[in-house]
Amino acid sequence: MTDLFAIPVTDIKGIGDETAVQLSTMGIGSVGDLLEYVPYRYEDYRLKDLAEAEHDERVTVEGKIHSAPSLMFYGKKKSRLNVRLLSGSYLIQATFFNQPYLKKKLNLQDTITVTGKWDKNRQIITVQQYSLGQHTAKGDFEPVYSLKGSVKNQTLRKFIRSAFEDYGNDIPENLPGSLRLQYKLLNRKEALFNLHFPAAPSSLKQARRRMVYEEFLLFQLKMQALRKFEREHSNGISQNYDLNKIKEFINSLPFPLTDAQKRVVNEISADMKSPYRMNRLLQGDVGSGKTVVAAIALFSTITAGYQGALMVPTEILAEQHAESLSELLGTAGVNTALLTSSVKGKRRKLLLEKLQEGEIDVLIGTHALIQEEVNFKNLGLVITDEQHRFGVQQRRVLREKGESPDVLFMTATPIPRTLAITVFGEMDVSIIDEMPAGRKTIETYWAKQDKLERVLGFMEKELSQGRQAYVICPLIEESDKLDVQNAIDVHAQLEFYFQNRYKTGLMHGRLHSDEKDEVMKDFSRNEIQVLVSTTVVEVGVNVPNATMMVIYDAERFGLSQLHQLRGRVGRGSSQSYCILLADPKTDVGKERMRIMAETNDGFELSEKDLELRGPGDFFGKKQSGLPEFKVADMIHDYRALEVARNDAQNLIQGERFWQDPEYAELRGFLEQTGVLQGEKLD
């Protein structure tokens, strides 16, 4: 069979060495690359009924020339040509700029097809493109390619057409006939051809459908194969935990577990018991009770004779977790310890010794935990909290550390399902989708910044009832002077406003970690009533007496981040409030404030956030580990993504996939990716 990726583009008529250089800047080196260089969008040249056209819309209409063209010159070389067209029942004007020669070509009663911007009020089309004669459906959809260098859209189309003429029949099919039949998918050649030269909307749709499925299936096969490989080669520990002790521990908790907590505890336990290494993501909204689940998992590993570790992104969080875990686990006789960079000298040495001797059962800390000379006697379980902060890379490093402990990743930022199964495709996912009973929803209001007086009045009322409040100011970078200033200014204002009545504290990323801890402790002990802070309090911090969250410039935060911030209140039994101070300029901005005020469900918000911001921005930075698809769109094609994931899972787990000739192409693909040999994915 011809390998189209081995044939240089110069084999195509019209492509010389120079053009080949231009094409190479677009990543096109071979005929195969050229054939698979798909358009990123289409111009729509279908005829439009003017009755349905919007003002300013770009439309294509056909019309009869109804008046002699009138030509007007202005400026040095500028001209305008007006002609009246009868299009259906509409008598409109078509305006051509700087094409004086057309005057002679446009004869009364001739038919012409024009495309341009429709001024609905004045009934004028400003023509961008035209063709003499009737409209033809052939060019209804003009593909638009992403271009670099000097190659033009039309030229590229010509090259692709030639490539199809010469090599179209050599485009191999990679999907097995059974799947194509099941989903009625075009073959690969037809699909690619229709993407480049769509004859009708329906053929474009079918072409997309086929390519989207293919892209998702290949991606998911890779993920599932990686998962299988890691499971089979991980030499995981089969943890023989003591079920009776675990039950006893669960019964000793101050509350019954929710059904969702029970379910994920079972999922985690099954992983720990299995000889495979656990590689599981635990998702749950703020306040859904992940910490207890973590405690149960840690307790299990201890009953099996191992040690556990919990890694969190900040020191404050480490301390809080250490506190709550020692409370939860301490009564059950578990020794917990905290390791951060502030544990120094002798104390540190002693701690590390105890750890190595197995006298410490659970170690809690920042990522210093995996980077330094920390040796466990017998590490069985590693849990990381708020893992998206650690980034994709660290996630992998951690997994490769140590003697194959089970690994559980926890996140309080609900990740939309579509993203979860792509970015975390090689992991198992558990979701706590239920809140503990009796939780009050946080009342959220959006106020313009000029309502600050009233907001402060409201805050005063809460404070007078013995409650506390957070005030958040936007911070972008910890080194960013302006924004830190912002928090400082607000702090100064509030200090003045509440003087002699309530104490205010200030917290931001530029404070030393000792200072941060000091402020945080003062706030937890209610020695500070109003805490002005940047987003450093975003994650995990737990002060149940705080019932009010005020967020300045709220439009500058993502929905998920706002939700995280809001999650700092509503942790006690009293009604809590969140006030978003914002004057968003755009419609999207206003929409986001409205969504926040209406929605308390983190998963729902994350889906909206994804819709409004797009997958690339969702995780903030570029290195989000999101795969790039040529045709598929993770949001719009999410159904196909789920279908492909199921299919991939079934294929990889089945026997037939690894033997049947029908799957030879797909196996070949997997071989090329290297996952079967345990190579890294990127």
| Helices marked H in 186-314 | 188-196, 201-233, 243-251, 259-273, 290-303
Pairing verdict, β 70-74 and 78-87: antiparallel
Shortest approach of ligand ADP to residue 50 CB, angstroms? Answer: 56
Region of 101-109, 196-204, 251-259, 362-370 interacting with ligand ADP (CB under 6 A):
251-259
Got the DSSP string for 281-336?
A: EEEE-TTS-HHHHHHHHHHHHHHTT-EEEEE-SSHHHHHHHHHHHHHHHHTTT--E
Which of 380, 540, 567, 602 is close enough to bind Mg ion by CB under 5 A?
540
Cβ 434 to ligand ADP shortest distance, Å:
9
Query: Is residue 147 within 8 Å of 19, Cβ to Cβ?
Result: no
CA nearest to 629, candidates 283, 219, 144: 219
- Which one of Mg ion, ligand ADP, none interacts with residue 261, CB within 5 to 8 A by kind? ligand ADP
Q: How many helices (H) and strands (E) does the chain have?
A: 24, 21
- Is 412 one of the binding residues for ligand ADP (CB under 6 A)? yes
Report which secondary-structure segment, H or E, holds 547: strand 546-551
32 neighbors 4 (Cβ within 8 angstroms): yes
Indicate whether 414 belongs to the interface with Mg ion (CB under 5 A).
no
Out of ligand ADP, Mg ion, none, what residue 620 binds, judged by CB under 5 to 8 A for its kind, is none
283 binds, among ligand ADP, Mg ion, none (CB under 5 to 8 A by kind): none
Measure the CA dihedral 518/524/528/530, to 10°: 110
**Residue 486's binding partner out of Mg ion, ligand ADP, none, with CB under 5 to 8 Å set by partner kind:** none
Minimal distance, residue 253 CB to ligand ADP, in Å: 8
Q: Rank residues 311 and 648 by Cβ distance to Mg ion and give the closer one.
A: 311
| Total chain residues near ligand ADP (CB under 6 A) | 14
When the beta carbons of 414 and 540 are compared against Mg ion, the nearer one is: 540
313 or 540: CB nearest Mg ion: 540
Q: Does 288 participate in binding ligand ADP (rule CB under 6 A)?
A: yes
**Torsion angle of alpha carbons 237, 238, 239, 243, nearest 10°?**
170
* Binding test (CB under 6 A) with ligand ADP, winner from 289, 365, 414, 558: 289
CB atoms within 10 A of CB 68: 12
Query: Which residue has the closest beta carbon to ligand ADP?
Result: 289
Residue 415 touches ligand ADP, criterion: CB under 6 A: no
How do beta strands 307-311 and 379-384 pair? parallel
Residue pair 612/560 in contact by the 8 Å Cβ criterion: no
Sheet holding 504-507, edge to edge: 443-447, 577-581, 546-551, 468-472, 530-533, 504-507
Tell me the C-alpha distance between 25 and 204, whole Å. Answer: 27
Q: How far is the CB of 40 from ligand ADP (least distance, A)?
A: 40
Site for ligand ADP in 149-168 (CB under 6 A): none
Instruction: Return the amino acid letter for 510.
Output: R
How many CB atoms neighbour CB 167 within 10 A? Answer: 19
Three-state secondary-structure class, residue 163: helix
Q: How far is the CB of 288 from ligand ADP (least distance, A)?
A: 4
Choice between 9 and 537, CB closer to ligand ADP: 537
Interface characters, 317-336, with ligand ADP (x: CB under 6 A)? --------------------
Contact between 336 and 362 (Cβ < 8 Å): yes
Stretches 10-18, 254-262, 608-616, 659-667: which one binds ligand ADP (CB under 6 A)? 254-262
Answer whether 188's CB lies under 8 Å from 172's CB: yes
| Residue 250 interacts with ligand ADP (CB under 6 A): yes or no | no
Measured from the CB atom, is 81 or 286 closer to ligand ADP? Answer: 286
> Among 13-21, 192-200, 297-305, 534-542, which window interacts with Mg ion (CB under 5 A)?
534-542
Task: Figure out which of the listed residues 292, 369, 423, 631 binds ligand ADP, where binding follows CB under 6 A.
Answer: 292
- The two tokens of residue 245 are 């002790």
Helix (H, G, I), strand (E, B) or coil at 576: coil
Nearby residues of 96 by Cβ (< 8 Å), 6 or more positions away: 80, 81, 83, 102, 127, 130
Q: Which does 286 bind (CB under 5 to 8 A by kind): ligand ADP, Mg ion, none?
A: ligand ADP
Q: Considering the rule CB under 6 A, would residue 261 count as an interface residue with ligand ADP?
A: yes
Contact region with Mg ion (CB under 5 A), list: 535-543, 545-553, 593-601, 609-617? 535-543
Nearest-approach distance from CB 554 to ligand ADP, in angstroms: 21
Crossing angle for the helix pair 315-330 and 290-303, nearest 10 degrees? 60
422 binding ligand ADP? (CB under 6 A): no
Question: Quick one: which of 310, 319, 312 has its CA closest to 517?
Answer: 319
Q: How far apart are CA 336 and CA 330, in angstroms?
A: 7
Residues in region 267-286 near ligand ADP by CB under 6 A: 284, 286
By CB under 6 A, which span of 55-63, 133-141, 166-174, 256-264 interacts with ligand ADP? Answer: 256-264
* Least separation in angstroms between CB 631 and ligand ADP: 38
Q: How far is the CB of 320 from ligand ADP (least distance, A)?
A: 9
Angle at the Cα of 277 from the Cα atoms of 387 and 409, rounded to 5 degrees? 10
Q: Which of 146, 255, 403, 671 binds ligand ADP (CB under 6 A)?
A: 255
String of DSSP letters for 73-116: EETTTEEEEEEEEEETTEEEEEEEES-TTHHHH--TT-EEEEEE
Q: Judged by CB under 6 A, does residue 239 bind ligand ADP?
A: no
**258 vs 560, beta carbon nearer ligand ADP:** 258
CA dist., res. 358 & res. 360, Å (int) = 5
Does the footprint of ligand ADP cover residue 291 (CB under 6 A)?
A: yes
User: Of ligand ADP, Mg ion, none, which one does residue 289 interact with (CB within 5 to 8 Å by kind)?
Assistant: ligand ADP
Binding-site partner at residue 258 among Mg ion, ligand ADP, none, CB < 5 to 8 Å by type = ligand ADP
Q: Tell which one of 53, 257, 452, 676 touches ligand ADP (CB under 6 A).
A: 257
Binds 288, which of Mg ion, ligand ADP, none (CB < 5 to 8 A, cut-off by type)? ligand ADP
Q: Which is nearer to ligand ADP, 216 or 299 (CB)?
A: 299
Residue 268: other Cβ atoms inside 10 A: 24
Pick what 287 binds: Mg ion, ligand ADP, none; C-beta below 5 to 8 Å, kind-dependent: ligand ADP
Tokens 């499971």 map to which residue?
A: 231
Nearer to Mg ion, 404 or 576 (CB): 576
Token couple for 67: 């008046």
| Residue placing its CB nearer to ligand ADP in the complex, 194 or 261 | 261
Q: CB 522 → ligand ADP: shortest distance, Å?
A: 21
Summarize as ranges the residues that interact with ligand ADP (CB under 6 A).
255, 257-258, 261, 284, 286-292, 412, 436
Summarize as ranges the residues that interact with Mg ion (CB under 5 A).
540
